[in-house]
Structure 1
Amino acid sequence: MAGVLYALAGAFFYACIIVLSKTIQGLDPYEQTAVQLGTSAFFLLVYGFCIGQLDFSTMTGEGWALALLLGIVHTGLAYGIYFGSLTQLPAQTTAILSYVDPVVAVCLSVFVLQEPITELQLAGICLVLGGMISGERRR
């Protein structure tokens, strides 16, 4: 049940980021991405502080490097490219691209971070790709 609630919360906050991107005017895509990621980081820090899970003293140099890699390359660069393309690509194409993000995140964790993949993650990838394919067929 906790996983379902976390997934719903994640979907809600992702929708909030999309709405925030529509309300920010006059910034280029990378500035817009910086505002969105800064807002997300702020709320994540507040959440971590509120539940008592904010302890940076246990992070190693490798942990900091991987966190920065994930934050800057995967999230920052991907968001910059994605939000930069929203005005130049058809809505259907950007919708399909939004399906790719969670699949890329799981693949990066498996192939780059060498984390084991579970059957549940494989099922999730299949569901995401199946939703993407069925959405493309409806178009």
Structure 2
Amino acid sequence: MSTSSSAPISVRMGASDWAQLLLLSLIWGMSFFLIAIAVRGLPVLTVVAARVLVAAVVLWAYVLLSGRSIPRDPKLWLAFLVIGALNNVIPFSLISWGQTQIPSGLASILNAVTPLSTVLVTAMFLADERPTPAKIAGVVLGLGGVAIMMGLDTLAGHRLAILPQIAVLGATLSYACAGTFGRRFARMGIDPIVTAAGMVTGSSILLVPVALLIDGPPPVASVQAWGAVLIMGTICTGLAYVLYFNVLARAGATNISLVTFLVPVSAILLGWLFLEEELNAAHVFGMVTIAAGLLLIDGRLKLRRKG
């Protein structure tokens, strides 16, 4: 990852950026619900590989139909492989495996640590996203909010679920590295749609052979399971990453990571409505606490100085 800044970014997001971020949060919130359906009938690696493969087919079809050119630079394709691993292969695998043992709502809550991980990673690699006292305070406050939403009783009462929770937290670190690494595509002048297509293609190259080796040929499964995979590939991956790279280029890694605060809201509501998962006061209070932390990170809340 380069230590230099890429294209100039806006620390404060505009109305268009927030609108895309809100849409992205709804799409990714839906993905937690769909993962929970897919892993009931399909192996984890098969779900992840099929998801990125569907996204690659859909995005390249759009690239060709819209008259865009396919990049041929080997260095660019190597970068696609790297960001594919960081933004898809590693986190999708960790989250999908984690969701075989923990509820989708809890997985999305843990995923909300991503902005906090991003603040730490960008501090090391991006000169224009250095941590300020407000960002550091936001990290502490946000981590407290995540702890509230998880609940100490979750850690104490479900000891076997600790490893899946750690896996999802590991995914947030991978996302943070991906956001930092992904800043270079805007500097290179790559269209966000082409970047998204290249990334999921890199992910497919890495994942499909591994899934076939470990899981074998895709098994016969329910229409619901495969339908969930198709929706995830087309909307929750293909469309979502076009939005992701567009906001990343304009607002930076820290701001794009704020989407993971909004994701738990839609994911928990979907889990509550369709999967009979619990929605309680701790979730709401934790979300409010994380919101305050992320607003500090974004600069919309200011720390008062004495004197």
Shorter-chain TM-score bucket reads 0.5 to 0.7
TM-score (normalised: structure 1): 0.67
* Structure 1 residues 23 and 135, CA gap change in structure 2 (3 angstroms): same
Q: For structure 2, list consecutive stretches of 5 or more residues without a partner in the other structure.
A: 1-161, 300-307
SS at match of 1:27: coil
Are residue 136 (structure 1) and residue 281 (structure 2) matched? no
The number of residue pairs the alignment matches comes to: 135
How far apart are 1:49 and its partner, in Å?
Answer: 5.4
Whole-Å separation in 2 of the counterparts to 1:83 and 1:126: 31
Are residue 39 (structure 1) and residue 202 (structure 2) matched? yes
Q: 1:15: which partner in 2? A: 176
Whole-Å separation in 1 of the counterparts to 2:254 and 2:173: 21
Q: 1:99: which partner in 2? A: 261
Q: 1:116: which partner in 2? A: 276
Query: C-alpha offsets along residues 7-53 of structure 1, whole Å, 9 cap, x if unaligned?
Result: 23211321243234223333211121122233344545466457x44
RCO greater where, 1 or 2, for CA within 8 Å and sep 6 or more? 2
* Structure 1 residues 42 and 91, CA gap change in structure 2 (3 angstroms): closer
How far apart are 1:55 and its partner, in Å?
Answer: 5.4
Q: Percent of pairs identical after alignment? A: 20
TM-score (normalised: structure 2): 0.36
Q: Runs of 4+ in structure 1 displaced over 6 angstroms?
A: none
Which structure: larger Rg?
Answer: 2
SS at match of 1:86: helix
How far apart are 1:64 and its partner, in Å?
Answer: 1.7
Q: Which amino acid aligns with 1:2?
A: L
In 1, are the aligned partners of 2:196 and 2:238 still within 8 Å (CA)? yes
SS at match of 2:245: helix
Q: For structure 1, list consecutive stretches of 5 or more residues without a partner in the other structure.
A: none
Whole-Å separation in 2 of the counterparts to 1:12 and 1:103: 21
Q: Which amino acid aligns with 2:248?
A: L
Query: C-alpha offsets along residues 72-122 of structure 1, whole Å, 9 cap, x if unaligned?
Result: 2123212211221223347765343343234444444555xx2222359x8
TM-align CA RMSD: 3.4
* Structure 1 residues 33 and 84, CA gap change in structure 2 (3 angstroms): same
In 2, are the aligned partners of 1:99 and 1:129 still within 8 Å (CA)? no
